[in-house]
């Protein structure tokens, strides 16, 4: 490993990340890991409370903690890490940012940070215990929604910086194929722009006026529909940067080449087309939406599974080609050639493995009849912990192991690699116990979004604490292991950022396999893809939305049950 790190560190691939851009990326990454620290602290306490192992002091409510946990990890950690990674990768592959792009980048960072602090303060003041999905009719302080608005505006500024960077490069490099990192970044940001219109609309037009007392009632179905219009592509906004690392960085880390550039780009185009008009699969059990529109969006949901299957194929093929190029023989000899002791590969790889059952779980969720069994149970919580909490986060950890040294001009040492391996194993074991138990408990009927309760000692609820594996105690123990893994991660991050030896570390950008076919030019026709995406969105949403507005029920007054 030491040798590998040395060779890797000596490679001098130019241009590396411009120091001014590296500073911006690191600013994002510090907040991301600050959120990991606080968010997992909230998580372990809430797991122990739900398992009936400890009680909270009266000054803290379970739902306040749950809101902090969800917001910090699902929204703050992911978004800040993604922007840090994308800015760094764009600077590495498409040259340093211009001063305008850098100003936009810092502007986005500042607005995003102010929005985060405002919303988080409201949670701390127990004025926003509405959970990360902020479902109406629960009502938070208006400042919480203002914070959320700033959060979204911040991402738009950051996104504008990335897009401006891309268009400037295109202008300066007419006729050239955009580097894969840049192409994928544009796909991710376009997806985010189109999707975040939904959350902006519901927050600005519904939640803010309602929380300010300007209107008495809120149309709940409309608010949830606009939320899920945004909420499902949000999960791909988390996933796509992880896929960027799988397609662009992992081939270089394992010493191979990407199987196909075209297939990788096609997967991202398909995400742009199909990931938005599918929000109804989160609302399959809700009244007020006709079966036809739910059916249509379920069909489109099955279409958005295809790019993940393409990714599984592509990455698998990359692994096999790499192993064979290194002399592997037999059907599975190539598996032995993968760098199992390098956490920069091992952590994302464990994320890939998690995604096999996680994706299967997603397909179960999306099937109408099965959704009736799992909806609003702990199964769904298990699902999102092995998707975003494992596939995405383990990949982000894998990225952090090399990205922080790149940005800070330091070395990823053999000692840090050992700790990173341990961190990955702990995270994997903790998540296996916690999410495994959540899935099974969900099938046994345990609901999500509830604090500790035995429902007046009902035998079914008592059984949720007594199972050997399917128990809320197993869940809590898994949470404790995850907490230890998280603290170890924080230690590694601090070490890599401030104490690791000074060195030049290369940003891993893989090459494409020599015999891969040329990439069709039409893949970069963004106008075409956005046009089709908008047409699909209009098709899937126009009539149901008109129906919800025209036949709106009286709406609901606010509820603050805490």
Q: 201: which 2 tokens?
A: 């609309």
Cross-strand pairs, 138? 559
Q: Which residue has the tokens 């400890």?
A: 54
Q: Which residue has the tokens 């009927």?
A: 445
Task: Give the number of other CB atoms < 10 A from CB of residue 310.
Answer: 17
Q: How far is the CB of 389 from ligand HAS (least distance, A)?
A: 8
Q: Which residue has the tokens 């929604």?
A: 145
Q: How far is the CB of 175 from ligand HAS (least distance, A)?
A: 33
404 binds ligand HAS (CB under 6 A): no
372 binds ligand HAS (CB under 6 A): no
CA atoms within 13 A on the CB side of 109: 24
Residue 5's nearest CA partner among 402, 486, 290 is 402
165 catalytic residue (yes or no):
no
138 binds ligand HAS (CB under 6 A): no
Among 40, 141, 225, 311, binds ligand HAS (CB under 6 A): 311
8 catalytic residue (yes or no):
no
**CA-CA-CA-CA torsion for 53, 57, 60, 66, nearest 10 degrees?**
0
387 binds ligand HAS (CB under 6 A): yes
CB of 387 closer than 8 Å to CB of 2: no
DSSP string, 39-60: HHHHHHHHHHHHTTS----TTS
Q: How far is the CB of 317 from ligand HAS (least distance, A)?
A: 9
Distance CA(95)–CA(17), nearest Å, equals 8
Q: Which stretch binds ligand HAS (CB under 6 A): 14-22, 88-96, 259-267, 349-357?
A: 349-357
Distance CA(83)–CA(459), nearest Å, equals 48
384 catalytic residue (yes or no):
yes
The 64-103 site mask, x for binding ligand HAS (CB under 6 A), equals ----------------------------------------
Please work out the total of residues on this chain that contact ligand HAS, with binding judged by CB under 6 A.
32
Q: Which stretch binds ligand HAS (CB under 6 A): 118-126, 165-173, 385-393, 398-406?
A: 385-393
Distance CA(502)–CA(409), nearest Å, equals 6
**CA-CA-CA-CA torsion for 185, 190, 196, 198, nearest 10 degrees?**
-150
Q: How far is the CB of 375 from ligand HAS (least distance, A)?
A: 4
Residue 182, C-beta contacts closer than 8 angstroms, at least 6 positions apart? 90, 93, 94, 166, 169
Among 185, 371, 471, 474, binds ligand HAS (CB under 6 A): 371
Residue, CB closest to ligand HAS:
359
Site for ligand HAS in 520-549 (CB under 6 A): none
541 catalytic residue (yes or no):
no
Among 77, 94, 273, 392, binds ligand HAS (CB under 6 A): 392
The 280-309 site mask, x for binding ligand HAS (CB under 6 A), equals -xx------------------x--xx--xx
Identified catalytic residue from 224, 344, 385, 410: 385
199 binds ligand HAS (CB under 6 A): no
Distance CA(208)–CA(145), nearest Å, equals 6
- The interaxial angle of helices 220-244 and 78-94, nearest 10 deg, is 40
CB of 189 closer than 8 Å to CB of 162: yes
Task: Please report, in angstroms and rounded to a whole number, the separation of the first and last CA atoms in the chain.
Answer: 53
239 binds ligand HAS (CB under 6 A): yes
Q: Which stretch binds ligand HAS (CB under 6 A): 9-17, 200-208, 363-371, 554-562?
A: 363-371
Identified catalytic residue from 8, 151, 236, 355: 236
366 binds ligand HAS (CB under 6 A): yes
268 binds ligand HAS (CB under 6 A): no
Contact footprint for ligand HAS (CB under 6 A): 133, 235, 238-239, 281-282, 301, 304-305, 308-309, 311-312, 315-316, 335, 352, 355-356, 359, 362-363, 365-366, 371, 375, 380, 383-384, 387-388, 392
Residues marked active site are found at 232, 236, 383-385, 448-449
């Amino acid at each position: 490993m030491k040798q590998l790190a040395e060779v890797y560190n000596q490679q001098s691939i130019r241009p590396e990340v411009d120091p001014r851009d590296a500073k911006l990326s690191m600013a994002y990454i510090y907040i991301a890991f600050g959120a990991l620290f606080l968010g997992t602290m909230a998580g372990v306490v809430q797991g122990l409370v739900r398992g009936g192992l400890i009680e909270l002091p009266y000054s803290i409510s379970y739902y306040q903690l749950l809101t902090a946990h969800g917001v910090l990890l699902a929204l703050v950690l992911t978004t800040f890490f993604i922007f840090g990674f994308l800015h760094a990768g764009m600077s590495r592959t498409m040259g340093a940012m211009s001063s305008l792009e850098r100003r936009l980048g810092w502007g986005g960072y500042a607005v995003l940070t102010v929005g985060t602090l405002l919303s988080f303060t409201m949670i701390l003041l127990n004025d926003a215990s509405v959970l990360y999905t902020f479902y109406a009719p629960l009502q938070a302080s208006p400042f919480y929604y203002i914070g959320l608005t700033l959060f979204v505006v911040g991402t738009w500024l950051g996104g504008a910086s990335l897009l401006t960077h891309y268009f400037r490069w295109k202008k300066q490099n007419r006729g050239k194929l955009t580097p894969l990192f840049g192409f994928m970044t544009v796909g991710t940001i376009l997806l985010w722009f189109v999707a975040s219109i939904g959350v902006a609309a519901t927050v600005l037009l519904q939640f803010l006026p309602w929380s300010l007392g300007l209107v008495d009632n809120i149309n709940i179905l409309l608010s949830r529909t606009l939320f899920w219009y945004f909420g499902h592509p949000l999960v791909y906004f988390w996933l796509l940067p992880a896929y960027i690392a799988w397609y662009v960085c992992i081939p270089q880390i394992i010493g191979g080449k990407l199987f196909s550039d075209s297939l990788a780009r096609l997967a991202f185009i398909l995400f742009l087309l199909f990931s938005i008009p599918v929000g109804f699969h989160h609302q399959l059990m809700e009244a007020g939406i006709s079966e036809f529109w739910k059916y249509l969006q379920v069909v489109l949901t099955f279409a958005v599974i295809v790019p993940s299957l393409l990714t599984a194929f592509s990455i698998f093929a990359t692994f096999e080609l790499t192993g064979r190029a290194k002399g592997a023989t037999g059907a599975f000899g190539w598996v032995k050639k993968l760098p199992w002791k390098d956490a920069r590969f091992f952590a994302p790889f464990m994320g890939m493995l998690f995604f096999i059952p996680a994706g299967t779980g997603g397909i179960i969720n999306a099937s109408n009849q099965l959704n009736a069994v799992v909806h609003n149970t702990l199964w769904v919580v298990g699902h999102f912990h092995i998707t975003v909490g494992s596939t995405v986060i383990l990949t982000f950890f894998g990225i952090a192991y090399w990205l922080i040294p790149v940005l800070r001009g330091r070395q990823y040492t053999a000692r840090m690699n050992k700790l990173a391996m341990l961190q990955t194993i702990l995270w994997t074991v903790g998540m296996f116990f916690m999410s495994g138990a959540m899935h099974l408990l969900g099938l046994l009927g345990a609901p999500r979004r509830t604090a500790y309760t035995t429902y007046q000692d009902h035998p079914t609820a008592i059984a949720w604490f007594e199972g050997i594996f399917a128990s809320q105690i197993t869940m809590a123990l898994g949470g404790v292991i995850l907490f230890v893994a998280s603290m170890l991660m924080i230690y590694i991050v601090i070490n890599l950022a401030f104490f690791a030896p000074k060195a030049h570390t290369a940003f891993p950008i893989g090459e494409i396999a020599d015999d891969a076919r040329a990439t069709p030019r039409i893949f970069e026709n963004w106008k075409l893809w956005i046009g089709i995406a908008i047409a699909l969105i209009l098709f899937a949403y126009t009539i149901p939305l008109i129906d919800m507005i025209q036949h709106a029920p009286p709406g609901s007054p606010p509820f603050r049950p805490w």
